Chain A
Amino acid sequence: MKKHLLLLLSVILVAMSLSACGGGNKNAGSNASNSPDASGGNKGTNTPVVEEVVDPFAKFDEPTEISVGRGIDPNYKFDGTDTSEDNVYTRWLKDKYNIVVKHAWEAANGTDYQQKVSLAISSNDLPDAMIVNETQLRQMVKAGQLADLKEVYEKYASPALKAVYDSNPGLLDSVTFDGKLYALPETTLPSAPLTWIRKDWLDQLGLEPPKTLEDIEKIAQAFIDNKMGGENTIGIVGTQQGGTLYSTFLNSTDHWYNFSSIFFANGAYPGIWVKDADGNAVYGSTTPETKETLALMRDWYAKGILDKELGVRKSTGEVVASGQTGIFFGPWWSAYNNIPDNIKNDPKANWRAYAAPLDASGKFNSNSATGSSYLVVSKNYKHPETVIKMTTLHQWGKDEEYQTLTAGKQMTSQEVPLFLILGAGDQLEYAVNSLRDYLAGKMTLEDFDNNNYGWAYEMANHALNVKKDPMDNYDIEYWDQETDAGFFTHLYAHLNGGSAFVDADINWVRSIATAQTKTMESRWTNLKKLEDETFLKIIMGSADLDSFDTFVEKWKDQGGDKITEEVNELK
């Protein structure tokens, strides 16, 4: 579970930027703070007004109640006596828009929340709306528990909201079943696993940053031989207990602390459906490339380059924090986690991200992640339009009154009910590029598009507090960690990890299937278990490399062939 921690942090920041500064995409910009009356904001849209279009920012005529199941953060500190049910934001919703949010129940985010949701679904004791995951969504669709949002979405969604979904093609289709729209899905940013290395150790040993798998092997061996992390230096850390070796089409963890990178560099895409030479769907875990990668990992494990406790380690993060290792794979936002702890213990710890390893032809491969949160509405709820309206308001309804009320404080998922992350794809890119230009003096604060990229602007405001000359060198000694500690982490992650990601030329490979097919519903648990067990055993040397072939046969026999057929139909 821990793996999921901070996952998609990027996206949150992006969403925060949107919510903080109003103004979504293009035409909705005029809804923002300048407009004295939120409902007037719509006047600014350039789109020709279709007849009977409902103003997405209008106030309900009478108080409309909505009961929600709510995930809460028990550690969150509200202002004064505010709670997640009654706070600045919910009062604003109530006073200004007549939307009254009531909690059917609340539970701590994570396992507890998931349990509550599952119980609500299976006992058919549903709140009007809540956020669910992919499995739960499918279960609810099957049980006929959900409201069709198609009509209210067309009618009540603001142009900006529609623009977001339009800029993420296929997203709404993935939640449309039999022509009925059953959820509002969250958007996600693409993320590729980078290689994170202690550059201070590289420098000490006179080594170059890695390009290929061989480079990484050599570096890891050198780190171990020279005891860079003390007596028990661990070469490369990754999968922890309960974790996966690589991200799959059902469980994207942004490749954090796993070994996706090694597979990608061999042209292997385990865990997702890819096209073979003839254009047919094939499950990546069953390809010869995957076998090759396993052989390599088996070799690395035997040599002690891979963490001996791979798969059973309690917390990979702790190893990173304690400075025992110098290499791991993870997305750009990895710098938010554990690395700051490591720096605190050892101020010289200079973690840098590299777009490596490359494959034999010099390409940097990655698969692309899928989103996992869905806002759903019970079919028994009389006013499904409330949910659309709330989503619109959350992103684009921030008027002057709102700004005064919140006194500039950013509203988080703890204040905002039914918090959904929505954003167009270029937020990170804009933030990284503009920050670099700003630090290089090629751009001023005024040049920032504060309306659309508020978070980038916010960070730029703090950039000079934390970054020291030379501005384009992100090594740890050129940062001021003390003056503005909160923003140090943000800028450090964006510039160190973010630039490596933005600058990388990534060869994206998408999974043909992004959800379970019919046969998977009954067979997948079994097949996945077979896969996990075989792969881990091969790597650890407790099974022959040839057991891979047995695995492929068994996998096909036990439903894999049938599933592949089903996936082929999806193409």
Chain B
Amino acid sequence: MVTERSALSRLFNGLNVVVLILTMLLCLLPVWYTLSISLSDKAAAAAGTVFLWPKGFTFDSYRTIVNDSQFLRSFFISVQRVAYGSAISFFAILLMSYPLSKTSKEFRPRNIIMWLLIFVMLFNGGLVPWYLTMKSLGMINSIWGLVLGGGLPVFNVILVMNYIRNMPKELEESALIDGAGPWRILFSILLPLAMPVLATVLVFTIVYHWNEFFQGLVLMNKADHYPLQSYIRQVAVVIDPTKMDEESVKRMSNLSNQTLNAAKIFISMLPLLVIYPFLQKYFVKGITLGSVKG
């Protein structure tokens, strides 16, 4: 009986690992493909002969991108945006989640505010009024427009709130008995325990701020103020045919859009790929969601 079961178990585990490895490869291939294209010679890329290995290896595309002073400026703006944006979101979310995790008996307006958040999550006024609001708030050409423009990340508030709500009440009670106030409870007891969910939310925020390009295009009146994704996008955007000149013709024929685009995509996801493994350890470390009352 016992051996049979463990044989079955071993078979399952073996299969499981194989499936997981296949899944992993399925996800990695396109990225590898992108990298191969970006390092390939334009003719080879255009002919569609590149798949798993670059053909006519060259760094030309990367050289083109990095030689642009605008690239570095936009890169810095994006870094700034991610830094401010995640710091502000982090604290706003943390601070809001705690009172909202109380029941409406403990904190009366809790339910009203929750419904307000749900409302805001689902409804929006459209681009034009948003733009006009941002303009009257002085957010045009400002880094703060990028940082705050997306509004309160309601979804993340709800996630963290739920997490905190499901933590053991005893933790808070014993702290209260020790005479701790709400701020100390939040920062020295709940904060460390909520790290897994906060790290998750932090990744969401970083990814959002890093990848978002539309607000950059709308709020910024000059490319000088663009965040990286807006910049990269506009370089790739096709040139207006009616305003074409000799130079553009030459440039276009010298550089395949395909290899250049691939390089841009690769560069723009690189920072996230570098950051992610560091944050990942928080997920693995997790502690308390388990005491969810079933």
Contact = CB atoms under 8 A, between A and B. Distances in A.
B249 interface: yes
Interface stretch (B75-83, B187-195, B237-245): B237-245
A373 interface: yes
A5 interface: yes
Interface string B169-198: 000000000000000000000000000000
A11 interface: yes
A73 B239 contact: yes
- Of A1, A77, A341, A372, most buried by chain B (CB within 10 Å of CB) is A341
B223 A108 contact: yes
A71 B223 contact: no
Interface in B234-275: 234-235, 237-251, 253, 258
B241 A7 contact: yes
Interface string A10-40: 0110001000000000000000000000000
Contact of A1 (B128, B132, B238, B253): B238
A312 interface: no
B158 interface: no
Interface residues of B, number: 36
A59 B291 CA distance: 80
B223 A6 contact: no
B135 A125 contact: yes
Given A322-B47, A340-B253, A103 B243 contact: no
Interface stretch (A109-117, A160-168, A205-213): A109-117
Interface in B188-239: 217-218, 221-223, 231, 233-235, 237-239
Nearest to B220: A105
B239 A109 contact: yes
Contacts of A259: none
B46 interface: yes
Contacts of A77: 247
Contact of A105 (B221, B237, B246, B253): B221
Contacts of B43: 341, 344-345
A263 interface: no
A105 B222 contact: yes
B242 A103 contact: no
A5 B237 contact: no
B237 A6 contact: no
Nearest to A9: B244
B241 to A, nearest CB: 4
Contacts of B222: 103, 105-106
Contact of B242 (A104, A186, A336, A410): A186
Contact of B234 (A5, A16, A112, A119): A112
A113 B240 contact: yes
Contacts of A74: 70, 223, 231, 234-235
Nearest to B250: A486
Contacts of A9: 241, 244, 249
A108 B245 contact: no
Interface residues of A, number: 56
Nearest to A322: B47
A344 B248 CA distance: 18
A112 B128 contact: no
A63 to B, nearest CB: 22
Contact of A12 (B131, B135, B235, B245): B245
Interface in A54-100: 71-77
B221 A5 contact: no
B73 to A, nearest CB: 12
B47 A122 contact: no
Contacts of B233: 112
B242 A12 contact: yes
Given A109-B240, A110-B237, A110-B240, A125 B132 contact: yes
B127 A73 contact: no
B248 A73 contact: yes
Contacts of A522: none
B248 to A, nearest CB: 7
A75 B246 CA distance: 13
Contact of A106 (B223, B237, B238): B223
B48 interface: yes
Contacts of A490: 246
Interface in A307-349: 318, 321-323, 336, 340-341, 344-345
A123 interface: yes
B169 to A, nearest CB: 50
Interface in B128-186: 128, 131-132, 135
Contacts of B70: 74
B251 A336 contact: no
B237 A119 contact: no
Nearest to A121: B128
Contact of A412 (B127, B241, B243, B258): B243
B131 A345 contact: no
Interface of B: 43, 46-48, 70, 127-128, 131-132, 135, 217-218, 221-223, 231, 233-235, 237-251, 253, 258
15 contacts: A4-B238, A5-B239, A5-B241, A6-B241, A9-B249, A73-B239, A75-B235, A103-B222, A123-B135, A318-B46, A318-B48, A412-B247, A413-B240, A413-B243, A489-B253
Given A73-B239, A122-B128, 15 more contacts: A1-B238, A74-B234, A75-B235, A75-B251, A106-B221, A108-B223, A109-B237, A109-B240, A112-B233, A119-B218, A344-B253, A345-B43, A412-B243, A419-B243, A486-B246
